[in-house]
Structure 1
Amino acid sequence: MIFRKGELFSGPGGLALGLTSACIVDDSGNEYKIKHEWSNDYDESACKTYRRNICQNIDDSSVIEGPVQELDIESLPPIDALAFGFPCNDYSVVGEHKGMSGDYGPLYSYGVKVLNYHNPKFFIAENVGGLQSANEGKAFIQILKELASAGLGYHLTPHLYKFEEYGVPQKRHRIIIVGIRKDQDLVFKVPAPITPDKYVTVNEALNNPPILDFTENHELTKHNPKTIEMLNYIPPGKNAWYEGIPEDLRLKVKGARMSQIYKRLHPDEPSYTVTGSGGGGTHVYHWDEPRALTNRERARLQTFPDHFVFEGKKEKVRQQIGMAVPPKAAKIIAEAVLKTFAGIEYPFVKPKWTFDELIHEGKVPYTV
């Protein structure tokens, strides 16, 4: 069974790489796979990256570049699966917390429109953990209601995935909503963590194997001497507010102090969350060398293989990497979906929320 996949807000293809890499074979020898059919994103560089790595064709017209608001949903080819990591800007805990009142908050509705018209057998939607508390929890509940009632109706399994528990060398927590069309008479179960007690460390991720110097997207960042001097005083796991930094090298910041500013990685732990935007001090910093990570190193923390080449200028590449879904985690979730359709049992855990708790009992999600 081959599920043809459509995708909105596709970015460089982290979610797509995980989904299309998944393959399940049942007892009768039948293969279950997910195949790219079409995708959409407004960012030119991300579309080029997607075409190069997911489609293996830089001219592939199935990757539609442009605003989702201008996408002709009814003209798109039929699909069996929909993936969409709808923009998180207005739900992130970092930012202005606009939720549904922001420019990006309502964009999930285009996923609902695809579900209404194309009625795929299942969908996978992704967003930041802050979604659960946006607009006092009302945004999350509204989104779930609309997804559940879209098209022919969907059984939903929303869960907060801690990706470090799924083999990703990064403490990245994201809400994934899996919906299976009700007429399929199947219920998705959250796959059990594969690394619940022993996380993959940044040292393992970046040095096993070492990144070759000529690898694409591996250029170093140029730092001014004062930044390098300051970093030399910051131990692994500490940030710009470390008390051992001499007074003349400290940042002059009033008000809130973000913990990730010039924070150096600890070699024996997963990374903190890799982000796609932000100024000085937000680029993720090496534990041993006084420098920011290269884009290739950041891509390793996101579990992209070294042969996955990102298109665009350096900052555009950084943006793509930071906004992507780690392919390794996406593959695990996709395999669980395919096993659900194949009738294959797998280890699972209780989801963080149930639809009844959130909708029928009117409970507001709690913040992690």
Structure 2
Amino acid sequence: MSKNISVVDLFCGCGGLYEGFKQAGFKASVSNDIWEPAFKTFVRNNNSTPFVLGDITDLEIKKKIIQEGKGSKVLIGGPPCQAYSMAGQRNVDDPRGKLFEDYLEIVNNIKPKFFVMENVKGLLSMEHDKQKLNPAEKKELNKIKSLENDKIDLMLKRKQSKNTNKIKFSIKEEEKLEEIKKKLKLLKINTSNLRVKVTETIKKRFLDLGYFVEIKVLNSANYGVPQKRERVIIIGSHNGLNINFPEPVYLERKDTFNEEIFRKNHPNWITVKEAIDDLKNKSEDVSFNHVFTKCGDDFKKKIKNTPIGKSVYGGFSDAYFRCPPDEPSRTVKENHGGVFIHYEKDRFMTPRELARLQSFDDHFIFEGSKSQILVQIGNAVPPKLGYSIAEVLKENI
């Protein structure tokens, strides 16, 4: 197998997915993102890679990407996950969701042998309206959208009420929320024939271009990432090429397993402590992205009183969460200041510690403010997951 297989990297962010592909012997013919802090990080760590900074919906930007990417064997990256995230309103009318159309156009022009898209699990349950609906059908679907917005507003208020005495969530509001949920359930059953799964549309649109698509959820912890990050991986192959997904390398050890047999076949998941324990007493080092978060005395007391496996605020399941040391972390997200709390030290984890949980090597340096760096880390595909995907793709190129 020859090295330096050419790859186009779209929506690349800071470069997590490409970092894994690079380690597997791929080389980017061109990379693209719209956000300058991510661009600066990517270029710092890949200074010889052609980079097109800008919006792919811009015709000139798209033209440059296609010109630079012609002849590439693989195209990686997908539209931003925020448009589909289970944590927010999964609205396919979001402009970011329409970036899929630009992705299709670029794939059709470059015609790689494979493409790889990554997204959140919420994509699997997303639906969109069918085309050619009559006015009455559209009216029924608009009722669903209106009720969904009301539900989101009430759920947000309920969540906020758990974290501050300034916001109250009344019994009437709780009853209203339950009533909305019942109405939504009935409406969705009655209009199920008017909607179609987003994943089915993705498969059909790519099949029209000559690509067969397979979709699978992969848990990053199974590939050496000290984080239980589950993501939808979409792989498309041109003209009948085989599609393989990586087999797990690491597995969760079950108490019922024979430990000796287990260790012989699969090492245990990498834990938070194994990943970052050597950094717990390290002094602040800005050049290494090991930067501490400053907070007031009251919040310091709250951190000190937060046990392992709990959040400072009850309404937040992941933000301000004190990670158990002896298992992989929960999903690292773009929570800005609301990141994980160290399992032993009464402080927030630093960007470098979070980068370790995302499986970035220490030589990978992030550019930007601390807040911008946290967003880059939270949005990245773990390099070790990318590496595992790249390795199985190589077998069929």
Q: TM-score, normalised by structure 1?
A: 0.79
Aligned ranges for residues 306-321 of structure 1 at < 5 Å? 306-321=362-377
The share of aligned pairs that are identical, in percent, is: 35
User: What is the match of residue 285 of structure 1?
Assistant: 341
User: What is the match of residue 202 of structure 2?
Assistant: 143
User: What is the match of residue 94 of structure 1?
Assistant: 87
Q: CA deviation at 1:133?
A: 0.9
Q: Which amino acid aligns with 2:272?
A: V
Moved more, 209-218 or 260-269: 209-218
Q: Which amino acid aligns with 2:98?
A: P
User: What is the match of residue 225 of structure 1?
Assistant: 297
Q: Secondary structure at the match of 1:38?
A: strand
Question: Are 1:305 and 2:377 counterparts?
Answer: no
Once residues 224 and 210 of structure 1 are traced to their aligned partners in structure 2, the CA distance between those partners, rounded to angstroms, is: 21
Moved more, 85-94 or 139-148: 139-148
Once residues 208 and 286 of structure 1 are traced to their aligned partners in structure 2, the CA distance between those partners, rounded to angstroms, is: 12
User: What is the match of residue 63 of structure 1?
Assistant: 51
Question: Are 1:178 and 2:169 counterparts?
Answer: no
Q: Which amino acid aligns with 2:289?
A: N
Once residues 221 and 209 of structure 1 are traced to their aligned partners in structure 2, the CA distance between those partners, rounded to angstroms, is: 15
User: What is the match of residue 26 of structure 1?
Assistant: none
Deviations 1:303-330 (A, max 9, x none): 0011100111111111111100000110
Q: Which amino acid aligns with 2:219?
A: K
Once residues 261 and 121 of structure 1 are traced to their aligned partners in structure 2, the CA distance between those partners, rounded to angstroms, is: 40
Which among 203, 206, 216 is matched to residue 273 of structure 2? 203
Question: Are 1:261 and 2:319 counterparts?
Answer: yes
Q: CA deviation at 1:211?
A: 8.2
Kindly tell me the number of residue pairs found equivalent between the two proteins. Answer: 306
Runs of 4+ with deviation above 4 angstroms: 208-212
Once residues 19 and 149 of structure 1 are traced to their aligned partners in structure 2, the CA distance between those partners, rounded to angstroms, is: 27
Once residues 200 and 275 of structure 2 are traced to their aligned partners in structure 1, the CA distance between those partners, rounded to angstroms, is: 37
Q: Secondary structure at the match of 1:36?
A: strand
Q: Secondary structure at the match of 1:177?
A: strand
User: What is the match of residue 366 of structure 1?
Assistant: none
Aligned ranges for residues 1-368 of structure 1 at < 5 Å? 1=2, 2-22=4-24, 33-53=25-45, 55-57=46-48, 62-70=50-58, 71-73=61-63, 74-78=66-70, 79-98=72-91, 100-135=92-127, 138-150=197-209, 153-182=210-239, 185-197=240-252, 198-207=268-277, 213=283, 214=285, 216-241=288-313, 257-277=315-335, 282-341=338-397
Describe the shift of the 1:147–1:288 C-alpha distance in structure 2 as closer, same or farther (beyond 3 A): same
Deviations 1:109-145 (A, max 9, x none): 2221111111011111111111111227622221222
**Contact preservation (8 Å) 1:84, 1:125:** yes
Deviations 1:11-44 (A, max 9, x none): 001011100110xxxxxxxxxx321110110111
Structure 2 unmatched runs, 5+: 129-195, 253-267
Q: CA deviation at 1:212?
A: 5.2
Q: CA deviation at 1:64?
A: 0.9
**Contact preservation (8 Å) 1:81, 1:121:** yes
Q: Secondary structure at the match of 1:39?
A: strand
Once residues 211 and 104 of structure 1 are traced to their aligned partners in structure 2, the CA distance between those partners, rounded to angstroms, is: 41
Q: Secondary structure at the match of 1:264?
A: coil
Q: Secondary structure at the match of 1:72?
A: helix
Deviations 1:59-93 (A, max 9, x none): x6x11111121123343341221011320112111
Q: Which amino acid aligns with 2:101?
A: S
- Which has the larger Rg? 2
Once residues 324 and 13 of structure 1 are traced to their aligned partners in structure 2, the CA distance between those partners, rounded to angstroms, is: 7
Q: CA deviation at 1:208?
A: 5.3
Q: Which amino acid aligns with 2:199?
A: F
Q: Which amino acid aligns with 1:126?
A: E
Q: CA deviation at 1:4?
A: 1.2
Deviations 1:192-212 (A, max 9, x none): 111122211000010257785
Q: Which amino acid aligns with 1:191?
A: P
Moved more, 205-214 or 109-118: 205-214
Once residues 202 and 269 of structure 2 are traced to their aligned partners in structure 1, the CA distance between those partners, rounded to angstroms, is: 32
**Contact preservation (8 Å) 1:219, 1:295:** yes
Once residues 313 and 288 of structure 2 are traced to their aligned partners in structure 1, the CA distance between those partners, rounded to angstroms, is: 33
Q: CA deviation at 1:52?
A: 1.2
Describe the shift of the 1:148–1:224 C-alpha distance in structure 2 as closer, same or farther (beyond 3 A): farther
Q: Secondary structure at the match of 2:309?
A: coil
Describe the shift of the 1:85–1:332 C-alpha distance in structure 2 as closer, same or farther (beyond 3 A): same
Q: Secondary structure at the match of 1:158?
A: strand
**Contact preservation (8 Å) 1:148, 1:179:** no
Q: TM-score, normalised by structure 2?
A: 0.73
Once residues 69 and 246 of structure 2 are traced to their aligned partners in structure 1, the CA distance between those partners, rounded to angstroms, is: 30
